[in-house]
């Protein structure tokens, strides 16, 4: 059963996100844990090759002190920074989430912030109690937004990302009205309002928050667009979308 999460923009227009349940999130965690263990295995293997004789006694390894410190630091980063770093720098997706098709966003629809990613992952230890994410699973099942304890503290939700691979070659010559773009009349009205704001630089209603919400929503829903530059930001994407559906 799909659980749809609604976010209202400043214009009182509702955006929809499909929330990820305990099952899909559990699969993502298993994949991420396997990746973590694989990385840790290679770190330990490289350390063993450096030491050669297998002597890991910290008291008798002065000549290898630098390698020991580096190995411990890398293990710490992988163990405690894996989820934090991936979720922040990969826009809410760890390797496991990306494979399953999930991502973390703020409850207001904006991209996850560093502070939120830090809080939700610091509390991951609590969600793991008493073992195998017992507290986390219990919280997700009972919460209507499928939020574990870390999500509740950081005000984040985990959503499903629709991976669309659209063949644009057959629709580039079609009129905008005939293009099969999954944009509802309400969403189109919101894009028109956004376009009007862009034309007036002095418009006090021009909102970065609105731009973030629109980009996140439409990129997840529509996906890549034809003729989109390799390096683009939120505004360039939204302008391309406006042109693509015939709003100029």
DSSP 126-149: HHHTTTTTHHHHHHHHHSTT---H
- Residue 48, Cβ neighbours under 10 Å: how many? 14
Peptide bond into 17 cis (omega under 30): no
pTM of the model: 0.66
Report d(CA 213, CA 217) in Å as an integer: 6
pLDDT at res. 15? 77
The angle subtended at Cα 146 by Cα 145 and Cα 148, nearest 5°, is 120
For the chain (length 248 residues), average pLDDT per consecutive 10? 78 78 92 94 83 56 70 87 92 92 90 93 88 86 91 94 49 42 75 77 63 83 78 85 78
Report d(CA 185, CA 192) in Å as an integer: 10
Closest listed residue to residue 82, CA positions, set 31, 154, 6: 31
Show me where the domains of the chain are located: 4-160, 176-244
pLDDT at res. 171? 33
DSSP 8-state assignment for residue 105: E
The backbone torsions φ and ψ at residue 104, rounded to the nearest 5 degrees and listed phi first, read: -100, 135
- pLDDT digits 0-9 by tens, 108-133: 888 899 999 999 999 988 888 887 88
**Biggest alpha carbon–alpha carbon distance for the chain:** 75
Q: Is 223 left (phi over 0), alpha (psi -120 to 50) or beta?
A: left
Report d(CA 149, CA 125) in Å as an integer: 10
Report d(CA 159, CA 53) in Å as an integer: 48
Spell out the SS3 assignment of 16-84.
EEEECCHHHHHHHHHHHHHHHHHHHHHHHHHHHHHHCCCCCCHHHCHHHHHHHHHHHHHHHHHHHHHHH
């Amino acid at each position: 059963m799909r659980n749809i999460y609604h976010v209202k923009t400043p214009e009182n227009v509702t955006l929809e996100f499909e929330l990820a349940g305990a099952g899909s999130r559990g699969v993502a965690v298993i994949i991420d844990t396997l990746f973590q263990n694989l990385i840790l295995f290679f770190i330990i293997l490289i350390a063993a090759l450096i030491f050669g004789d297998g002597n890991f006694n910290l008291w008798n390894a002065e000549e290898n002190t630098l390698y020991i410190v580096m190995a411990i630091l890398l293990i710490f980063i992988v163990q405690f920074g894996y989820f934090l770093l991936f979720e922040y720098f990969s826009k809410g997706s760890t390797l496991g989430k990306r494979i399953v098709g999930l991502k973390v966003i703020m409850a207001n629809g904006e991209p996850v912030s560093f502070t939120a990613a830090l809080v939700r992952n610091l509390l991951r230890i609590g969600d793991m109690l008493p073992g195998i994410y017992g507290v986390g699973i219990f919280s997700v099942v009972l919460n209507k937004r499928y939020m574990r304890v870390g999500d509740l503290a950081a005000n984040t939700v985990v959503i499903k990302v629709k991976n669309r691979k659209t063949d644009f070659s057959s629709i580039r010559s079609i009129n905008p009205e005939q293009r099969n773009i999954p944009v509802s009349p309400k969403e189109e009205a919101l894009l028109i309002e956004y376009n009007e704001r862009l034309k007036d630089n002095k418009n006090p209603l021009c909102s970065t928050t609105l731009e973030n919400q629109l980009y996140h929503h439409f990129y997840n829903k529509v996906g890549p667009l034809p003729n989109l530059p390799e390096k683009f930001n939120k505004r360039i994407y939204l302008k391309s979308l406006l042109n693509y559906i015939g709003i100029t």
